[in-house]
Structure 1
């Protein structure tokens, strides 16, 4: 993965910080607006840049929070295709599994939510709707 040239990198960092602030304030549309600006700034091929995986992961998270599950799943599928370590990231497994479940893709949801649980345990699910933990418990029976 390549790193951005210093002036572009600073602009990207500024926009990312602004997006994260909006995310913390639960202003997910505003956050994605800034993240998509960063996306546009990345030179082609976009997937070659260090910022790309982080960027689309955060865009996916915002889509999930806005109940835009298909967009979230599409972005997370890209993350899993491009980053071989994604399946070892409990949070990414959780979000992708949640999107899959919301879209009725129960086999994928079970695989991912179970993986998230194995990686981080029940604590990962504490701030999430109880249906996700209930789903993997029922699937295991």
Structure 2
């Protein structure tokens, strides 16, 4: 399925706006832009590729705000969208969010999935504790 051109252009515009807000450290404004973009996606939202990257962007913004519970929820939504289960970044951030929420067993599962898809390089710019959690599994 494809979105109509007008809706798609508006979604892309709102997401770019959100990305700019993230770069400027204005995370609450970024979340507003991403949420507005998501509101333009028809139901069921998990049927659309655009939802995968919007939910991921929302999760990432919440992650940077250290609102790990909301981050985790957004990444779970993204996981259920097209190509979500094969997106290493999404798996990494979901694992990190779960770690920060104290669910270490689930965190291991998703961090290991990210590692299996991308190898150690996906952990290069991340805090050491996330990779250390799966070290004995690899």
What residue number does 1:98 align with? 96
What residue number does 1:35 align with? 34
What residue number does 2:112 align with? 114
Query: Compared with structure 1, are the counterparts of its residues 113 and 48 closer, same or farther at alpha carbon in structure 2 (3 Å cutoff)?
Result: closer
Offset at residue 104 of structure 1 (A): 1.3
Offset at residue 65 of structure 1 (A): 1.1
SS of equivalent to 1:26: coil
Q: Structure 2 unaligned runs (5+)?
A: none
Write out aligned runs for 1:1-141 (5 A).
2-83=1-82, 85-137=83-135, 139-140=136-137
Over aligned residue pairs, what C-alpha RMSD do you find? Answer: 1.9
Give the TM-score normalised by structure 1: 0.86
Offset at residue 91 of structure 1 (A): 0.8
Higher deviation after alignment, 43-52 or 7-16: 43-52
Encode CA deviations 1:48-95: one digit per residue, 9 max, x unaligned.
333212111110111111111111111211222334x33322111100
Offset at residue 103 of structure 1 (A): 1.0
Cα distance in 1 between the residues matched to 2:73 and 2:96: 13
Q: Structure 1 unaligned runs (5+)?
A: none
Aligned residues: 138
Query: Compared with structure 1, are the counterparts of its residues 87 and 41 closer, same or farther at alpha carbon in structure 2 (3 Å cutoff)?
Result: closer
Encode CA deviations 1:79-127: one digit per residue, 9 max, x unaligned.
22334x3332211110010011111111111111112122212221121
